[in-house]
A and B are shown apart, each in its own frame.
Chain A
Amino acid sequence: MLYDVLIIGAGCTGVMTARLLSAKNVKVAVAEAGPDVAVGATAANSAIVHAGYDAKPGTLKAKLNVRGNRLMKELASTLGVECKGVGSHVVGFGDADLAMLEELLARGRANGVPDLEIIGQDRLRAMEPNISPEATHSLWAPTAAITCPYGITIAAAENAVTNGVDFYFNFRVTDASRAGNIHYITNGEDTLAARYVVNCAGVHSAEVAAILGENDFPITITPRRGEYFILDKAVGNLAHSTLFVCPSDRGKGILVSPTVDGNLIVGPNAYPIGDGDDRSTTAEGLAEITAGARRIMPTVPMNMAITSFAGVRATPNQYDFYLEASKQIPGVVHAVGVESPGFASSPATAEYLVGLLEESGLALTDKPDYIPTRRRDGNHIQWNRLTEEERAAKCRENPAYGKIVCRCETVTEGDLIDMLSAPIPAVTVDMMKKRLRAGMGRCQGGFCSPRVAALIAERTGRGLDEINKSGPGSWLVTKREEG
């Protein structure tokens, strides 16, 4: 199979690009080092669709964030994914911060962010009763939104597969060669051939650029790790919108925000690390986040934390995203150093990358039979998001929807069975977790994960010892000793 376009990396940028191309008459593949889409920075970030005031005017970040904000909301609606326009506050503590808020306001207006305003303490407190009494002002950005970054990326990937895109998982690119205008990309075992290659490899994008043959590539990546806590849904309403502190040279600082699923998210810090795949948390980091969150919300109940995690961002040696067609290798387009607001920008970044491919000579025509939804028969909507009447009807139609497997997040057996035959079949515990939230609740899979694993094993005709949590090597159980 010769692909027209091979995308390396199935994070939000790569998947959004694949999805756009799937509407065109080209054959597209995505090679992903991990076991699923959205396993890197897309899986572990603040889950904010930033409004776009933060980026310096005139940069790609500014342009793509503001457009991405609008496109992300449209995409969520098209794919049946939840996205809530809760807005955001950059919270100022005293007059010293006011200058920064005014600068952000000016940047935002220059970037074309609608409806920005600086509000005073009374209004801020009326909107956010749990905010620190020391907070004096905020930059209110009503267009900021929250969604599930991996949820919408999975939905976009399903939409892409429905329209003919092939995904190759556990495919870590180790070498590349070129013959004529064909690129051969290999993981050491299998080789994929394509006329165009898009490097969306996130924290590994500079390494991939080198593998593709770039000499003196201008961008280097310093992986920067950020740690987070997720708090129980019982306290998810303590913040009504995303609460930032004033940004510094280390990023946007520690925020407190509701999540689209009703939890409270707290984090991140930001520390450079050597290994881009090191997503471990540290005692010091988690303590720092606790302290940071208390600055915004002194009463934040950290004892209600249900989990903590870390994400790794691809911080480049320049301010802006590096989105360029290769100057050395024809047919290669790079998306390197896509850090925050990389997720919020991703639908617009995808448009930009498709534009670069066209400029590089890729001819694109519309596919007449393009399907705009996740599946041929529409969007999959989970049982717990249906109305009472719809739930009742679904149970009558198929009793499997009447059996709850994950009690914390109300996931039914019917939902799980459905995901086994999705465009990207969910065959690991984590795939089910990311698609349906089974195991994401307060018991963290204590109840449902053995049941989910057993269902996958039964339905795929495998032993439980052959089911993984996520990638190869993440086995759950072994066989009992015999005799």
Chain B
Amino acid sequence: MTTKELTCVVCPAGCRITVTLNDASAIESIEGYTCLRGKTYAANEVTHPVRTLTSTVPVMTAEGKKMLPVRTNAGIPRESLFEAMKIVRATAVKAPVHTGDILVADFIEPGTNLIACKDFE
């Protein structure tokens, strides 16, 4: 039996969650979460931690080059963050672009997309 103390990163409340693992590294119990998202986070965090990646990519507009904020629409494996940044750095778009537009589909993982977070007409 081992216990892991986690600080939930799902929302700014930062709940302290305790996850107990049995000797086979399977989850025995999760305590201290205050929402279901927190419980899911804790379960993921001890087995395969994921993170939302946010960054920017250049967007060509009528007024010249601007920076378009982007994010993944779901968590990607934490260990893939740097690999993901390589794809982000190789990405550039042209206006018009709108919040929610998919810029890179199946980003790192199937079904996960890199999406725009701002409108440029």
Contact = CB atoms under 8 A, between A and B. Distances in A.
Contacts of A483: 86, 89-90
A481 B90 CA distance: 10
A481 B56 CA distance: 12
Chain A: interface secondary structure?
loop
Interface band, chain B: under 10
A480 interface: yes
A482 interface: yes
Interface string B84-107: 001001100000000000000000
Contacts of A482: 89
A482 B57 CA distance: 11
Contacts of B86: 483
A482 B86 CA distance: 8
Interface centre among A481, A482, A483 (most CB of B within 10 A): A483
Interface in B59-106: 86, 89-90
Contacts of A481: 89
B111 to A, nearest CB: 25
Interface in A427-483: 480-483
A483 B86 CA distance: 6
A480 B57 CA distance: 11
A36 B86 CA distance: 41
Nearest to A458: B64
A93 B89 CA distance: 67
Nearest to B89: A483
Contacts of B90: 483
Contacts of B89: 480-483
Nearest to A482: B89
Interface in B1-44: none
A38 B6 CA distance: 56
A205 B90 CA distance: 54
B45 to A, nearest CB: 29
Interface in A394-421: none
A483 B85 CA distance: 8
A480 B90 CA distance: 12
Nearest to B85: A481
Nearest to B87: A483
Interface in A218-249: none
A56 B86 CA distance: 70
B69 to A, nearest CB: 14
A480 B86 CA distance: 12
B8 to A, nearest CB: 32
A337 to B, nearest CB: 53
A463 to B, nearest CB: 11
B1 to A, nearest CB: 44
A483 B91 CA distance: 8
Which 6 A-B pairs give the minimum distances between C-beta atoms? A483-B90, A483-B89, A481-B89, A482-B89, A483-B86, A480-B89
6 contacts: A480-B89, A481-B89, A482-B89, A483-B86, A483-B89, A483-B90
